[in-house]
Structure 1
């Protein structure tokens, strides 16, 4: 990933926040020289620099047989930035851009079909998202009709070796520009725009 120095993020707490906001990742493996791409919800765990993702595929998914090297993309918020928002737009001949936060995680996939481990993933994911949806469905391991569904999935653990974060938030602009862009984004209807504004505010230095 292209990362100018101004946009490099090294604090893994920023990755924690991205996953907390949206744990629906893009998972990429390579077979026969071609990328294989899937989009999956995951469970996230970090202990210092040690990071692990857990999730599952439908068993017929070809990627379910792709243990080994992989890349996961964690998608953060993103927003269009109009050059008309910059106070110095005429003097500097500013052009449009896009602000965003994203993480690329490189590591190794380990697959499994252990029933108890699969049940734990389904249960934890459902608890997490049922709570957000305002409901309370639970995976019930003691029910045969629930347990038999586990035969249709393959689980994975993704052991992360390298976490590369990019937070492109107008850090290469004067403070007045950053403040003006954040002001405009806070007024937009999209949640992503307002989230980008919040990230910009949090990362604006106290001095220009």
Structure 2
């Protein structure tokens, strides 16, 4: 990913938090030179000094079979994004787009059944535990779980490289920066409000 110096993020903790908050991403591999992509929820964990991304996909999805032949896979995460009108600047310029994106490269391997169960249990707890009637691993019938497990393939990716770009008008002067936030908050698009919120928080840190 091309990242101009203004927008490069190197704080591992900051990027880790971003990946956990924007956990629905895209995994990309290749088969005979052609890219294949699947959109999935992912989980990030740390074992010793290494980071791992875990997930699962349908058994019928042929992408998991490419893990053996791909030296590296790519997982992409995206946060809020918004159009930035150049009419919001105090000087003449061209429009642009603000966004947050993280690309993660790594080596993929298939999870054992026990590892898959552990991963699915953790995912259910993450997304269900706060609900009034949570659907957790131990609340589902063994018959249903056995059936569903046959239909998915779990995988983990040992992270080898992380590239993070937060293009949030860091290259603009203070006056333009504040005006961009004001104008984004006036937009009807919820994404614009999210970008404004991110920009506001970063200006306070």
TM-score, normalised to structure 2's length? 0.88
- Matches of 2:51 and 2:190 in 1, distance apart? 28
Q: Which residue of 2 aligns with 1:163?
A: 162
- Bigger Cα displacement from structure 2, 117-126 vs 66-75: 117-126
Residue pair 2:20, 2:43 contacting (<8 A) in 1 also: no
Residue pair 1:126, 1:138 contacting (<8 A) in 2 also: yes
Q: How does 1:134-149 map to 2 (within 5 A)?
A: 135-140=133-138, 143-149=142-148
1:120 maps onto 2:123 in alignment: no
Q: Which residue of 2 aligns with 1:198?
A: 197
Q: Number of matched residues?
A: 201
- Matches of 2:130 and 2:94 in 1, distance apart? 39
- Matches of 2:132 and 2:18 in 1, distance apart? 22
Q: How does 1:27-176 map to 2 (within 5 A)?
A: 27-46=27-46, 50-67=50-67, 68=70, 69-86=72-89, 88=90, 92-112=91-111, 114-131=112-129, 135-140=133-138, 143-176=142-175
- Bigger Cα displacement from structure 2, 8-17 vs 197-206: 197-206
Offset of residue 100 of structure 1: 0.4
Instruction: Write the deviation string for residues 143-192 of structure 1: whole angstroms up to 9, x where unpaired.
Output: 13322321111110011110000000111111111111112223434443
Q: Which residue of 2 aligns with 1:182?
A: 181
- What is the RMSD computed on CA atoms of the aligned residues? 2.2
Q: 5+ residue gaps in structure 2?
A: none
Relative to 1, partners in 2 of residues 1:49 and 1:205: Cα closer, same or farther, differing over 3 Å?
farther
Residue pair 1:185, 1:194 contacting (<8 A) in 2 also: yes
- Matches of 2:94 and 2:77 in 1, distance apart? 27
TM-score, normalised to structure 1's length? 0.86
